[in-house]
């Protein structure tokens, strides 16, 4: 942009602060993958601690979060209930 006196004026605009996201990659043992973006370290910790309760017993999923250096296997703890 040029100012009236002929000098160049630069204007910088920012769109708020940068927010970090944490991407968890889930991979089944047959090779299917899914990526989940979470907003905080706490959200990652909560997901990792609660997700096994949603998986049936006998089901395992590989999990990784490169940003936090986390990798491992989650095993399901959900016991099927019988319905009458």
Q: pLDDT truncated to tens, each residue of the chain (84 aa)? A: 444 555 565 555 555 556 789 999 999 999 999 999 999 999 999 999 999 999 999 999 999 999 999 999 999 999 888 776
10 lies in a domain? Answer: no
Upper half-sphere CA count for residue 22 (Cβ side, 13 Å): 20
pLDDT given at position 24: 96
The span from the CA of 23 to the CA of 40, in Å, is 10
Q: Is residue 38 within 8 Å of 50, Cβ to Cβ?
A: no
4 lies in a domain? Answer: no
3 lies in a domain? Answer: no
Q: Is residue 62 within 8 Å of 41, Cβ to Cβ?
A: no
Q: Which DSSP symbol is given to 19?
A: -
Residue 63 structural domain:
22-75
Q: How far is CA 33 from the centre of its chain?
A: 13
What Rg, from alpha-carbon coordinates, does the chain have?
23
């Amino acid at each position: 942009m040029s100012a009236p006196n002929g000098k160049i004026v630069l204007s910088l605009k920012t769109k708020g602060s940068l927010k970090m996201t944490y991407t968890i990659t889930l991979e089944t043992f047959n090779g299917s993958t899914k990526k989940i973006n979470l907003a905080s370290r706490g959200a990652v910790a909560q997901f990792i601690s609660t997700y096994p309760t949603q998986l049936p017993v006998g089901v395992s999923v590989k999990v990784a979060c490169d940003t936090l250096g986390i990798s491992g296997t989650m095993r399901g703890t959900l016991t099927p209930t019988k319905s009458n």
